[in-house]
Structure 1
Amino acid sequence: MAQVEEASTGSGHDALPEEQREALRKAIRLEWITIGVLAVTVALVGLVAGQSQAMRAAWLEDMLSFLPPIAFLIATRVIRIGPNMRHPYGHHRSIGVAHLVAATALLIMGGFLIFNSVMSLVNVEKPPVGLTVLFGQEIWAGWLMVIVMAASGIPPVILGRMKMKLAEPLHDKVLYADADMNKADWSTALATIIGVLGIGIGLWWMDAVAAIVVAVSIIADGVRNLIAAVEDLTDTRAMTFDEKEHPLIDEIEDITRAMPWVAEADARVRDQGHVFHVEMFVVPKPGQDPTVEQLHDLRETLHDVDWKVHDVAVVPVPEIPVYLTPAAG
């Protein structure tokens, strides 16, 4: 009994098996490394940006890229707080809140960048990119921009791939969103380089167009992540970390239906962050009146299926709620 109670009421950190705790420790290290890399990148891009719209867009995107790792690091601290009278479900959903914060910031900043870039095109603002002195030699400032953007696009791609490998075992959507953004940073760098080179060959409008391309990418990330974050926080059916049908739900339903005293069973599963809260509705077979021990044994069995099945309530009912049936969609 104590094992079930601990599983269902512990903090988010306590809910993780050792493998996932190690993955979380690695993810935390990667996010601190990401913040360090971003600090250097923001400084370098800001130093050479000049009047280029594309470079400004890239700089603002880099500034915005601080939000997901910071939100992740804060959330991983908050989930350590155990449940109490005010938060009886614990603080697992701090992961969802962090996801929402990051997604909203992406959407707002993407819209801001598009507005600025479109106005630059409308007002025919031709960004000046002149000469600069480096080691006593005069060179076109655009080459510095190209070098900085080419170099800055490499570390995020590597970090993104490393984070992606940890997002699945942790079932962490904030980490997945951050990894997805990092992996796509090469496209931002490429678009910015093209915009800067466009200025160099006299096609001034390519700079603003490149900034718009970057902004559209930001908005697409924002919309996708905002939809996922809002759905999680409004108790949509639990999905995988990359928003696909989760096989664990079918598995726990099949296990429940296999119980000798169960006629029908369907689960209502909500995503709490790293873990799931499960309400298993069961219709006993005719003549069966499940005892407290049988309900407890089923609850314990479901807890043992997977670490993500963190909190389970078994609810005997005369019939399955209609919204859980296939006909309800």
Structure 2
Amino acid sequence: MIKRVTDVILIGIVVSSALAIIKIVAGILGNAQSLMFDGINSLTDVLIAIGMFFIVRVANKAPDKDHPYGHQKYEGVFYFVIGIFLILTSIIIVGTNVIDIINYQKSQLIKPEIYTLYVVFLSVILKVVLFRFYRTYGKTFSSPSLKADSYNHLSDILATSASLIGIVLTRFNIHYVDLIASVLIGLFILRAGNLIVKEAISYLVDEAPPKTTVKAIKQMILSVDDKLHVDDLKVRKHMSGLYIDVEISLPSHLTLEESHSVAEAVHDKIELEFEEVLHCMVHVNPY
């Protein structure tokens, strides 16, 4: 599975690298500032993907003595770093262009070249393909990094669309729209970074899964034995997986062996029916 995830990332690196070079060069030579900033955004995609390529390998190492619960949270930390990086990038882009808008003079207007539009159209098409590609395989392989980058590609689609609008309107002599489009690009990047940071935090602080998931787990536990009660149930996220701690109570007249048999049945059924469960710890109380 790791090989497939890294293959997806490598494809993203190649496509994003090509787009970054094309957009930056076309933006500079074609007098389209929003396209140039969009190219810088694509360059950050390349840096993120390179880091992701290596972190996925680390995160999927087997548990060891120093990391008995595995290394998956390294991916969560990187996920968080991606979000912060995008937020900082957006602040620079928005700040730079707001200053340019404040200091703008009509004499500064230079029409973008027509070929910049072709570059933007190509970029939107490739980004839609990458978004669907990453989202599909992020779900298939339960990879937080691929899911995070799919959000990033979705943000890129919106950002490039803003660039397209800016270039078209500037060619019709509508002043400083290209600068406004650059600000919108920065805001789209900010939104993507914020979503990624929020989800990364939910992974790193052991947040509970949706209530529907917890309810389904509880109902399944109760179905194991009609004499069984659920005293306490804690479920926490561990990246794309779940850890479960459950306290059940059984009649006090049952022998230790009988109680253990029920507890083992609960454990086995949970881990069999919920693929995302990495481990289930069952504690038995008498009643």
TM class by smaller structure: 0.7 to 0.9
Q: 2 CA distance for matches of 1:57 and 1:281?
A: 55
- Contact 1:194/1:210 (8 A) holds in 2: yes
Q: 1 CA distance for matches of 2:114 and 2:107?
A: 15
Report what 2:282 is aligned to: 314
Which of 7, 25, 41 lines up with 1:61 in the alignment? 41
Number of residue pairs the alignment of both structures matches: 282
Q: Percent identity?
A: 17
Report what 2:177 is aligned to: 206
- Contact 1:107/1:219 (8 A) holds in 2: yes
Higher helix share: 2
Which of 109, 121, 125 lines up with 1:154 in the alignment? 125
Moved over 4 A (4+): 125-130, 285-290
Report the TM-score, using the length of structure 2 for normalisation. Answer: 0.86
75-84 vs 88-97, which deviates more?
75-84
2:65 is the counterpart of 1:85 = yes
Which of 205, 222, 229 lines up with 1:257 in the alignment? 222
Give matches, 1:2-41, under 5 Å: 21=1, 25-41=3-19
Offset from partner CA, 1:190-243 (integer Å, 9 cap, x none): 2112222333333331011001111111111111111111122011112xxxxx
Letter in 1 for 2:220: I
* Cα separation, partners in 2 of 1:126 and 1:47, compared to 1, 3 Å: farther
Which runs of no fewer than 5 residues in structure 1 stay unpaired? 1-20, 131-139, 239-244, 320-329
Q: 2 CA distance for matches of 1:246 and 1:96?
A: 22
Report what 1:117 is aligned to: 97
Q: 1 CA distance for matches of 2:269 and 2:244?
A: 13
25-34 vs 225-234, which deviates more?
25-34
Q: 2 CA distance for matches of 1:289 and 1:108?
A: 61
State the Cα distance separating 1:270 from its structure 2 match. Answer: 1.9
State the Cα distance separating 1:309 from its structure 2 match. Answer: 0.8
Over aligned residues, Cα RMSD in angstroms? 2.6
* Cα separation, partners in 2 of 1:125 and 1:101, compared to 1, 3 Å: farther
* Cα separation, partners in 2 of 1:214 and 1:200, compared to 1, 3 Å: same
Give matches, 1:97-108, under 5 Å: 97-108=77-88
Partner secondary structure for residue 86 of structure 1: coil
Report the TM-score, using the length of structure 1 for normalisation. Answer: 0.76
- Contact 1:276/1:308 (8 A) holds in 2: yes
Letter in 2 for 1:170: F
115-124 vs 188-197, which deviates more?
188-197
